[in-house]
């Protein structure tokens, strides 16, 4: 398929060929949902912890004799129903990690890209280039595209000037193409992708298996 190509000033400078296998498929909603849940689960630290009745401070002495007091029987001051007692069935450190086949992870990303493209929420930019880090210049570039809402900027490689220029803009996130993931694609209203970043996406999302691994992308929170 063919898409419009813009410069960073928002002017159309030509067209670019896109892979239908990446930007033109029927989005698989269940797989996207599974990938999103997996990504959120893998981002959890799992460090929550509570102390049971055997771990809290307190005497092990029986509070009073079993019978003859007229009161309910009690065995320990550390029982869960007492103030300062242990927590019954509370959470403990655990791993929330979920596995997902690589082909399904890639299908989820391709589905998200196809959905954004079908909704006309993706713009392809020749390149982002600024003389020095300057927020004002980046904001002017964004305004030229007349796109409202939060924006995800996808770059092919680390660019300190562009990333610093966008760092202080509310609702804007820069992301390397290797780390494109379902949550970011669905969270942000608009996506700006540089021409070089398209090649990176194609290297591991194309129909022919690429050498670039998307393990890091799938772990992005």
Q: Considering the chain, what is the average pLDDT of its residues?
A: 91
- Is 200 within 8 Å of 130 (Cβ atoms)? no
* Domain spans, the chain: 2-32+100-219
pLDDT over 50 at 214, yes or no: no
Q: Which of 5-19, 77-91, 97-111, 173-187 has the lowest mean pLDDT?
A: 5-19
Confidence at residue 206, expressed as pLDDT on a 0 to 100 scale = 86
- Is 218 within 8 Å of 98 (Cβ atoms)? no
Secondary structure of the chain as H, E, C letters: CEEEEECCCCCEEEEEECCHHHHCCCCCHHHHHHHHHHHHHHCCCCCCCCCCCCCCCCCCCCCCCCCCCCCCCCCCCCCCCCCCCCCCCCCCCCCCCCCCCHHHHHHHHHHHHHHHHHCCCEEEECCCCCCCCCHHHHHHHHHHCCCCCCEEEEECCCCHHHHHHHHCCCCEEEEEHHHCCHHHHHHCCEEEEEHHHHHHHHHHHCCCCCCCCCHHHHHCC
Q: What's the distance, Cα to Cα, between the start and end of the chain in Å?
A: 31
pLDDT over 70 at 1, yes or no: yes
Over residues 98-117, mean pLDDT: 96
Over residues 110-128, mean pLDDT: 94
Higher pLDDT among residues 147 and 36, named by residue: 36
pLDDT in tens, 30-80: 999 999 999 999 999 999 999 999 999 999 999 999 999 999 999 999 999
Structure tokens at 177: 């193409």
pLDDT over 60 at 97, yes or no: yes
Q: Does domain 2-32+100-219 have CATH number 3.40.1370.10?
A: yes
């Amino acid at each position: 398929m063919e898409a419009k190509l813009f410069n960073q000033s928002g002017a159309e400078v030509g067209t670019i060929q896109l892979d239908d296998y990446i930007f033109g498929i029927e989005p698989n909603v269940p797989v996207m949902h599974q990938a999103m849940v997996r990504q959120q689960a893998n981002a959890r630290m799992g460090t929550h912890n509570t102390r049971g009745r055997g771990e809290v401070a307190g005497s092990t002495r029986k509070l009073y004799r079993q019978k003859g007091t007229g009161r309910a029987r009690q065995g320990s001051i550390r029982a869960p129903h007492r103030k300062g007692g242990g927590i019954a069935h509370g959470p403990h450190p655990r791993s929330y990690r979920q596995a997902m086949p690589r082909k399904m992870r890639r299908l989820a990303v391709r589905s998200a890209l196809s959905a954004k493209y079908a909704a006309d929420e993706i713009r392809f930019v020749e390149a982002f280039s600024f003389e020095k880090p300057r927020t004002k210049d980046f904001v002017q570039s964004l305004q030229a595209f007349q796109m409202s809402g939060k924006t995800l900027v996808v770059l092919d490689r680390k660019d300190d000037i562009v990333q610093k220029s966008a760092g202080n803009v509310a609702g804007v996130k820069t992301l390397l193409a290797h780390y494109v993931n379902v949550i970011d694609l669905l969270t942000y209203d608009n996506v700006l992708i540089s021409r070089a970043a398209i090649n990176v996406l194609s290297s591991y999302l194309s129909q022919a298996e690429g050498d670039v691994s998307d393990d890091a992308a799938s772990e992005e929170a």
